[in-house]
């Protein structure tokens, strides 16, 4: 076997290994979007309010967006391997610390497993300790968010350099796999190994520990697979040089035989250096920026319209920030990403709120919650991915600047199907029009959530619409920026605009939590005030349900959720003595329950989750709808000016 053939085989093996690592890193990098799966568990286990829980999500968002720039610069300078090593450390440490903190909280609660002791623990919740736990968890999840950015940038960097002849495909495949991360990982969460045997709900410490181990191993594999990058680039250069020499030699030999040069070639005049000294086209290296701004790389980029309205002709960053188009798109991204990621981060809490109102079997609440949360996270991931693919294909196929096919190409002899396809090919639609369609989908879904969402089926429909709209906008806004401002500063332009997405995500998620906590506190106060009217029997009813729901040793969260749910239902649904009748039907009067009733005459222990259905989240979606409507109106000038240009 020749050295050249051996080199080719090594290069092929290295490319296959790298492709496997790119896929593995991409499909696991978006693990933070599994947050709705374990967020309710953290809320209960640590005694957090929803505001504190969503602050944990804010840590991941900050970690991802703030570190994106430095990771990109490191990838440009040193290649993907350092990013994979960093991601392995960040994922492993972040998830291990989160799992340890949650397990420690559960161990502390397990020391109180009898009736009065459980509710005494509830009354003794230290808000200071809860705030400290939330702060620590936020810091741990920030590490995970930084790992997300590192792993994803490593995948993009490796893809563009191992597959330089297919740059668009090299970027689109990791992005698509990244959007499927939550779907893939939530399916793993449904395995029996990650379920609490007593409740059927997710065992958060087990799942978080598994995520840390899995992502650390995947990124170590990526670092190993990308380690031969220098060798691959060198082999590519040698192969290109050899092929250039062979082509030049063949052209020269043919010209000597025929007296004419072959098409596309030239003879080498006397006195000119031999073919071995012909320059070899520059190959990408680790010093090559991920997004190049030179003339060669811009040849394949969409041409920037010379007279595109609302866009400054100056390439400076200051001119970019002063462009009216920038602010219209920034507001759109703020509203779309903020509202959609509010749903992504809080869908677990919405499941709890709706199930608390509609569930008929308290013993099955934990199992049902896990199933519903897993399904909804999968719905969000699936619709997000499909809409990204369809939006990208549709925007290119319907591009208003694409030439129309000649009508003469379709004759009467052709089949009706061919004529119908020809008519469809004549349809044109601006990317801004598709952007407005995506924002309209989000707006309608937010209005529905604010005014009519009262069931799990409706929540599934909401997640489908939000995933679709979110995917459309996150595909088309970068495309519009690329076409309107050109490729030379695309990384800078798009990167700066993503801070609007971060601000929207944080702002709307905190709004959701504040509203939910406010409603939960108001309900709690009303229930406490009603205790004097219901007497001890009402509290016995709530406690009895906790201890007669088929749970031998109910956890703190189980007991509080059931007790609070029963009392709220009695308070708002039947204040005519039905609580006493139901308590009689339960037939549960034990010393433990009597002590519970005596303990809680003046205050009601309960989870800090809001358990009264749409009232918990309706105002948040009303505010989100208003901002989304303003953003949709703000994009109208762009649509009017650009609808026939891009």
Mean pLDDT of 631-639: 94
Supply angle C-alpha 559, 552, 595, rounded to 5.
Answer: 55
Q: Are 176 and 300 in contact (CB under 8 A)?
A: no
Mean pLDDT of 615-636: 96
Could you tell me if residue 574 is inside a domain?
yes
* Stated pTM of the model: 0.70
Rounded distance, CA 312 to CA 156, Å?
30
Rounded distance, CA 381 to CA 389, Å?
13
Lowest mean pLDDT among 20-24, 163-167, 293-297, 458-462: 293-297
Question: Which domain, by its residues, includes 535?
Answer: 522-612
Could you tell me if residue 195 is inside a domain?
yes
**Domain total for the chain?**
2
Mean pLDDT of 195-215: 89
pLDDT of residue 168: 58
Q: What confidence category does residue 199 fall into, taking pLDDT thresholds of 50, 70 and 90?
A: confident
HEC sequence for 39-96: HHHHHHHHCCCHHHHHHHHHHHHHHHHHCHHHHHHHHHHHCCHHHHHHHHHHHHHHHH
pLDDT of residue 495: 75
HEC sequence for 551-575: CCCCCHHHHHHHHHHHHHHHHHHCC
Stronger pLDDT, 405 or 245, i.e. the higher one = 405
pLDDT score of 215 more than 70: yes
- Dihedral sign from CA coordinates of 323, 329, 333, 335: positive
The secondary structure of 105-120 as a DSSP string is HHHHHHT--SHHHHHH
**Structure-token pair, residue 297:** 């790389």
Partners of 202 in the beta sheet? 195
Stronger pLDDT, 93 or 227, i.e. the higher one = 93
Rounded distance, CA 121 to CA 110, Å?
10
Could you tell me if residue 98 is inside a domain?
yes
Q: Are 232 and 14 in contact (CB under 8 A)?
A: yes
pLDDT score of 618 more than 60: yes
Which stretches within 486-577 are classed as H helix? 490-547, 556-573
CB atoms within 10 A of CB 70: 13
Could you tell me if residue 78 is inside a domain?
yes
CB atoms within 10 A of CB 419: 13
Instruction: List b or e across 164-187, with b for residues whose CB sees 16 or more CB atoms inside 10 angstroms.
Output: eeeeeebbbbbbbbbbbbbbbbbe
Could you tell me if residue 360 is inside a domain?
no
pLDDT of residue 317: 86
Using CB atoms within 10 A of its CB, is residue 412 exposed (0-12), middle (13-18) or buried (19+)?
A: exposed
Could you tell me if residue 82 is inside a domain?
yes
Q: What is the pLDDT of residues 120-179, one digit of tens each?
A: 444 444 678 888 999 999 999 999 999 999 999 898 888 878 887 766 567 778 888 898
Q: Are 353 and 613 in contact (CB under 8 A)?
A: yes
Could you tell me if residue 297 is inside a domain?
no
541: CB partners within 8 A, 6+ apart: 566, 567, 570, 579, 580, 582, 583, 586
174: CB partners within 8 A, 6+ apart: 22, 25, 26, 152, 155, 156, 159
Last residue of a domain, one of 221, 248, 275: 248
CATH assignment at residue 168: 1.20.1250.20
Could you tell me if residue 315 is inside a domain?
no
Q: What is the pLDDT of residues 265-316, one digit of tens each?
A: 443 333 334 444 444 444 444 444 444 444 344 444 444 445 578 787 788 8
Lowest mean pLDDT among 104-113, 116-125, 306-315, 358-367: 116-125
Stronger pLDDT, 43 or 420, i.e. the higher one = 43
Stronger pLDDT, 224 or 159, i.e. the higher one = 224
Q: What is the pLDDT of residues 557-572, one digit of tens each?
A: 444 455 555 555 554 4
pLDDT of residue 289: 46
Q: What is the pLDDT of residues 591-605, one digit of tens each?
A: 443 443 433 333 334
């Amino acid at each position: 076997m020749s050295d050249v053939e051996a080199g080719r085989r090594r290069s092929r093996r290295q490319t296959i290994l790298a492709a496997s690592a790119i896929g593995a890193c991409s499909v696991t990098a978006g693990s933070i979007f599994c947050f709705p799966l374990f967020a309710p568990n953290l809320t209960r286990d640590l005694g957090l309010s929803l505001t504190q829980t969503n602050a944990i999500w804010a840590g991941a968002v900050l970690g991802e967006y703030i570190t994106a720039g430095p990771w990109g610069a490191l990838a440009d300078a040193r290649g993907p391997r350092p990013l994979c090593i960093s991601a392995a450390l960040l994922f492993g440490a972040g998830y291990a610390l989160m799992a340890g903190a949650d397990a420690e909280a559960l161990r502390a609660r397990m020391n109180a497993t009898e009736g009065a002791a459980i509710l005494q623990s509830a009354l003794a919740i230290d808000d200071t300790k809860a705030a400290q736990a939330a702060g620590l968890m936020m810091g741990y999840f920030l590490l995970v968010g930084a790992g997300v950015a590192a792993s994803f940038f490593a995948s993009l960097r490796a893809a563009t350099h191992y597959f330089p002849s297919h740059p668009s495909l090299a970027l689109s495949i990791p992005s698509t796999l990244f959007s499927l991360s939550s779907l893939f990982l939530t399916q793993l969460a449904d395995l029996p190994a990650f379920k609490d045997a007593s409740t059927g709900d997710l065992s958060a410490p087990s799942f978080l520990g598994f995520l840390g181990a899995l992502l650390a191993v995947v990124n170590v594999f990526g670092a190993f697979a990308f380690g031969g990058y220098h060798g691959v680039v060198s082999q590519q250069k040698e192969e290109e040089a050899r092929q250039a020499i062979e082509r030049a030699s063949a052209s020269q030999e043919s010209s000597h035989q025929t007296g004419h040069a072959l098409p596309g070639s030239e003879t080498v005049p006397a006195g000119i250096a031999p073919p071995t000294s012909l320059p070899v086209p520059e190959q990408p290296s680790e010093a090559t920026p991920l997004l190049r701004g030179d003339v060669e790389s811009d040849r394949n980029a969409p041409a920037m319209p010379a007279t595109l309205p609302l866009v400054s002709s100056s390439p400076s960053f200051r001119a970019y920030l002063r462009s009216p188009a920038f602010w219209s798109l920034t507001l759109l991204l703020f509203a779309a990403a903020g509202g959609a990621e509010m749903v992504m981060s809080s869908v677990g809490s919405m499941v709890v709120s709706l199930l608390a109102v509609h569930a008929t079997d308290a013993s099955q609440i934990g199992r049902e919650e896990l199933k519903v949360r897993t399904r909804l996270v999968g719905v969000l991931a699936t619709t997000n991915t499909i809409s990204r693919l369809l939006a990208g294909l549709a925007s290119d196929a319907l591009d208003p600047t694409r030439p129309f096919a000649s009508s003469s190409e379709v004759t009467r002899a052709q089949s009706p199907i061919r004529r119908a396809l020809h008519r469809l090919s004549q349809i044109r639609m601006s990317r801004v029009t598709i952007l407005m369609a995506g924002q309209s989908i989000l707006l309608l879904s937010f209005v529905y959530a604010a005014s009519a969402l009262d069931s799990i089926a409706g929540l599934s429909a909401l997640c489908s619409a939000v995933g679709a709209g979110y995917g459309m906008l996150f595909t088309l806004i970068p495309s519009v920026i690329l076409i309107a401002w050109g490729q030379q500063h695309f990384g800078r332009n798009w990167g700066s605009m993503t801070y609007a997405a971060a601000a929207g995500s944080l702002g709307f998620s905190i709004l959701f939590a504040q509203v939910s906590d406010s409603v939960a506190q108001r309900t709690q106060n009303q229930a406490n005030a009603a205790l004097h009217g219901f007497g001890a029997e009402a509290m016995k009813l709530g406690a009895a349900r906790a201890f007669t729901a088929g749970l031998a040793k109910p956890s703190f969260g189980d007991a509080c959720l059931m007790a609070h749910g029963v009392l709220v239902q009695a308070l708002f649904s039947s204040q005519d003595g039905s609580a006493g009748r139901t308590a009689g039907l339960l037939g549960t009067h034990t010393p433990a329950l009597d002590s519970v009733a005596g303990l809680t005459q003046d205050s009601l222990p309960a989870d800090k989750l809001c358990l009264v259905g749409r009232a918990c989240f309706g105002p948040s979606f009303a505010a989100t709808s208003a901002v989304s409507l303003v953003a949709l109106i703000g994009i109208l000038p762009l649509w009017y000016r650009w609808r026939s240009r891009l």
